């Protein structure tokens, strides 16, 4: 059974295509999240596919939410979150949107990010991130809300929002504060530190360092396998107890959280920094 070739199957929605093993090959579809369900294990591999860098915009957030809905509907046993790029998991929020947006578009962006966050963080199955390249800003955050992270050597990971001029949104602070030892969380959040996978593994930011994507997927599958003999209701009740604070915060303060994000992005200081950051990125070559 070939799992590497894209096959035609019914379109789930405008941005998500399920990959399955029905024998009708078609050319690669330009969907923002590709779904490949392994019929043997029941695990779905979700590959972000907004090339070149999987920068997160409303459409990619919505595609992730839709993909998770599909996994819930199909009673998935687990998800492996990865990317189709050979060297980038995700470069975080789309700088173009931060640079050229307005309060309406930033509200929509954050609204969509909250939805995707809740789908992943409160899913009824475990998620494992196969971090096959750089995971920066929002890209790092989306790996952090999975239950497990394996990262390929040679890339960088971290929450660098502060360097882009954005005050850290509350949920990012809450989750970083729980994942990393306190001192590392504080330094990382206030300095926007980017880490090698080896450094990240020493501070709990990643669980395993691997040599390539194939090994990352194997590690993710091994992690998901650990849940096969445990009743999922018990796992989910326990997980929700652990994660309740962040989930309740977003559910009960949705609009305030959006307003806080818009305020952070539209401040003169943030806009000046975003502008410089954007220009530096464009002048890199
Ligand atoms: C309550 C719910 C919470 C949920 C919240 C979810 C997420 C948000 C969380 C917090 C706020 C997040 C903020 C951010 O994420 S800010 C963005 C942070 N990201 C970065 O700083 C990454 C910047 N990019 C890089 O460092 C490099 O590009 C790279 C990723 C290391 C790759 O380097 P490489 O040399 O391989 O490629 P290029 O640099 O040439 O890039 C190729 C191409 O892509 C463009 N690009 C890169 N990054 C972005 C980006 N983030 N957005 C848009 N475009 C990007 C780059 O400009 C090049 O374009 P070109 O046209 O020149 O080819």
Query: Mean pLDDT across the stretch 60-71?
Result: 98
The predicted pLDDT at position 14 comes to: 36
Paired tokens of 215 = 């090994």
Q: How many CB atoms lie within 10 A of CB 96?
A: 13
pLDDT category at 172 given cuts 50, 70, 90 is: very high
Q: Where are the beta strands (DSSP E) in the chain?
A: 11-13, 16-19, 33-37, 43-48, 78-83, 88-90, 127-131, 134-136, 148-152, 157-158, 208-210
State pLDDT tens for residues 184-216: 999 999 999 999 999 999 999 999 999 999 999
Residue 100 CB–ligand 1 contact under 6 Å: no
- C-alpha 99/C-alpha 118 separation (Å) is 26
- How far is C-alpha 158 from the chain's CA centre? 12
Residue 64: closest CA among 29, 32, 37 = 32
The predicted pLDDT at position 20 comes to: 39
Residue 65: closest CA among 149, 10, 123 = 123
Query: Mean pLDDT across the stretch 146-154?
Result: 98
Residue 57 CB–ligand 1 contact under 6 Å: no
Distance 43 CA to ligand 1 centre (A): 29
**Which neighbouring-strand residues pair with 37?**
44
State pLDDT tens for residues 72-84: 999 999 999 999 9
Task: Give the closest residue (by CA) to ligand 1 atom 9.
Answer: 138
Question: Which atom of ligand 1 is least distant from the CA of 164?
Answer: 16
Paired tokens of 163 = 């360097």
State pLDDT tens for residues 213-253: 999 999 999 999 999 999 999 999 999 999 999 999 999 99
The predicted pLDDT at position 89 comes to: 98
Question: Which atom of ligand 1 is least distant from the CA of 277?
Answer: 21
- Judged by DSSP in three states, 49 sits in coil
Residue 126 CB–ligand 1 contact under 6 Å: no
Q: Do residues 47 and 30 lie in contact, with contact meaning Cβ atoms separated by under 8 Å?
A: no
Return the minimum-mean-pLDDT range out of 4-13, 135-144, 165-174, 254-263.
Answer: 4-13
Residue 161 CB–ligand 1 contact under 6 Å: yes
The predicted pLDDT at position 284 comes to: 84
The predicted pLDDT at position 16 comes to: 52
- C-alpha 58/C-alpha 116 separation (Å) is 10
Q: Give me the chain's average pLDDT, please.
A: 91
Distance 26 CA to ligand 1 centre (A): 30
- With the most atoms of ligand 1 within 8 angstroms of its CB, the residue from 281, 283, 285 to mutate is 281
Residue 54 CB–ligand 1 contact under 6 Å: no
Residue that is written with structure tokens 């980017």 in the block: 194
Residue 157 CB–ligand 1 contact under 6 Å: no
Residue 169 CB–ligand 1 contact under 6 Å: yes
Q: Is the pLDDT of residue 1 over 80?
A: no
Task: Give the closest residue (by CA) to ligand 1 atom 37.
Answer: 53
Residue 64 CB–ligand 1 contact under 6 Å: no
Run of H or E including 239: helix 232-252
Residue 134 CB–ligand 1 contact under 6 Å: yes
pLDDT category at 285 given cuts 50, 70, 90 is: confident
State pLDDT tens for residues 102-147: 999 999 999 999 999 999 999 999 999 999 999 999 999 999 999 9
Query: Mean pLDDT across the stretch 60-66?
Result: 98
Q: Is the pLDDT of residue 60 over 90?
A: yes
Task: Give the closest residue (by CA) to ligand 1 atom 22.
Answer: 91
- Judged by DSSP in three states, 36 sits in strand
Q: Is the dihedral of CA 155, 62, 100, 164 positive or negative?
A: negative
pLDDT above 90 as % of the chain: 89
Q: Do residues 201 and 170 lie in contact, with contact meaning Cβ atoms separated by under 8 Å?
A: no
Q: Is the pLDDT of residue 258 over 60?
A: yes
pLDDT category at 164 given cuts 50, 70, 90 is: very high
Residue 247 CB–ligand 1 contact under 6 Å: no
Q: Do residues 216 and 152 lie in contact, with contact meaning Cβ atoms separated by under 8 Å?
A: yes
Residue 137 CB–ligand 1 contact under 6 Å: yes
Task: Give the closest residue (by CA) to ligand 1 atom 7.
Answer: 138
């Amino acid at each position: 059974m070939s799992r590497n070739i894209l096959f035609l199957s019914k379109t789930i929605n405008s941005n998500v295509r399920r990959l399955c093993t029905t024998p009708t090959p078609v050319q690669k579809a330009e969907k923002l999240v590709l779904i490949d369900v392994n019929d043997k294990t029941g695990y779905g591999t979700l590959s972000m596919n907004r090339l070149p860098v999987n920068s997160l915009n409303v459409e990619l957030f919505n595609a992730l939410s839709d993909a998770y809905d599909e996994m819930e509907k199909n009673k998935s046993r687990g998800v492996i979150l990865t990317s189709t790029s050979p060297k980038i998991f995700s470069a975080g929020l789309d700088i173009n949107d931060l640079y050229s947006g307005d309060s309406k578009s930033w509200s929509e962006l954050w609204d969509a990010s909250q939805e995707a966050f809740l789908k992943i963080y409160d899913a009824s199955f475990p998620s494992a991130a196969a971090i096959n390249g750089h995971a920066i800003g929002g890209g790092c955050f989306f790996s952090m809300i999975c239950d497990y992270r394996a990262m390929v050597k040679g890339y960088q990971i971290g929450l660098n929002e502060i360097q882009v001029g954005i005050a850290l949104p509350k949920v990012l602070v809450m989750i970083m504060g729980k994942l990393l030892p306190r001192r590392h969380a504080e330094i990382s959040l206030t300095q926007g530190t980017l880490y090698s996978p080896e450094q990240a593994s020493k501070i709990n930011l990643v669980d395993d360092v691997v040599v390539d994507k194939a090994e990352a997927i194997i590690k993710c599958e091994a992690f998901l396998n650990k849940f096969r003999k445990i009743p999922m209701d018990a796992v989910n009740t326990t997980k929700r107890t652990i994660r309740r604070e962040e989930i309740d915060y977003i559910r009960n303060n949705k609009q305030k959280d959006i307003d806080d994000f818009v305020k952070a992005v539209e401040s003169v200081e943030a806009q000046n920094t975003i502008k410089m950051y954007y220009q530096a990125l464009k002048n890199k070559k």
